[in-house]
Chains A and B, each alone.
Chain A
Amino acid sequence: MLSIDVSRFALYLIDSTRFYTNPGMNRLFLFFKQIYVPLLFIILEVVAINYYAQSTSYTRAKILSSTNSFMGNVYTTFSDVKHYFSLKKENDSLVNELVELHNEFEKYKAANPQPEETLELPESEAAKYYYTTANVINNTIAFRENFLTLDKGILDGIEANMAVITPEGTMVGIVQTCSEKYSVCMSVLNEKFRTAGRIKGSDHFGSIFWNGAKEDIVQLTEVSKYADISVGDTIVTDYSSIFPSGIVIGTVQSWEMVADSYFDLEVKLTTPLTSVHKVLLVRYADQVEQMMLEAEALNEEDNK
């Protein structure tokens, strides 16, 4: 049908005096008039889907950092306003933390009455973990892959693979990528998030991930069947090149035995992701060394 029309089109181009009067030509024009909107729709849709298909979680950070000069400022203003309403709560938690630190300090003093003689502060480079703070300026939870945007970036010493925790010491996520002034973190509510979790006070551990069903429940899977579990047990981070050991993840809510070989646990997050406004970022000094060593070992195993 189309090929006939095209050949006619060529003929009428030569004999252009019959251009408007001929019904065949009109039909061709009508055909194009009918089809150009769907055609454009298909072209644009294919372009959009293609762009979406090739995007990675890093694309998000790239897009955000390219619109950041304007968006970042507005984001910061909005989060400042929101932040104002949580000031009282934040003050309370700071005072509580100060009290705890004071008490702990008094215990150390009681145990070691003359600290000047024995206490030697190590060089700052020798510290295993480096801490810094940031504000959350954007936080999504309604997707399969959720992210937090923080108001600090490369210029403030933020790097990819830093751990993100709350000031109270509970897990939030992992820094994924940074621009000069902002960084994007994968939150624990992201189906690509994986880390190791251990039942506090025991040596049994498993893998933490989110199945996307509830905003305050994550899964701890493949815990040894010899583990002694009870509701309310605390789950902490473990064996990670990102998180310091012992960061609180949440408490056990329920569990089930899978195929008589291991436990799957539901863990209720101690800090719901919706209420995170201020975060601490932690860099593990030996991270690169540990990761390279692990990758090397894995390669050797593959080569065998």
Chain B
Amino acid sequence: MGLSAIAVLGVARPGVIAEVTSAFTRHGANIEDSAMTLLGGHMAMMMLVSGQVPPASAFPGLTVTAAEVGSCRDHDREGGLGYVLTVHGPDRPGIVSSVSEAFTEVSGIITSMTTRLYGSLYVLIADVWLPAKVDVAALMRRLAAVGAGLGCAVTFRPAEAEVL
């Protein structure tokens, strides 16, 4: 079965997720990894779907993009550690790019990220994976400097992971 990456965007309203997912069910497709959130009042859903992708007419009123993708091996994350980053402060351009560059410099990977703008408050929270070799203290100093330059508060802490 082929694998497709699909993005769905539409107005958030009761029933919209049921409509999207039932379209895949009717066509025998299987939703594998997926993430859905509300961006403002807009429903945004991203999926990896195996099987037959429904025709465009199956998603009335929604903006849908789809692309066939090959199977992709997840980036090797053996030995590294997970962290959570919080940045908050006055909204201004460049917060996400400045912070993400700091992780790029140490080969860190942002595995999940949420940003929220409420009034003039901008909030960024990200899950980050760092290779074991990274000097975390130095990275935290770098992040603090980036935050100071942006006028933002930055918190960087180990992710909680209780394996039972």
Say if A and B assemble together: no
Interface residues of B (CB under 8 A from A): none
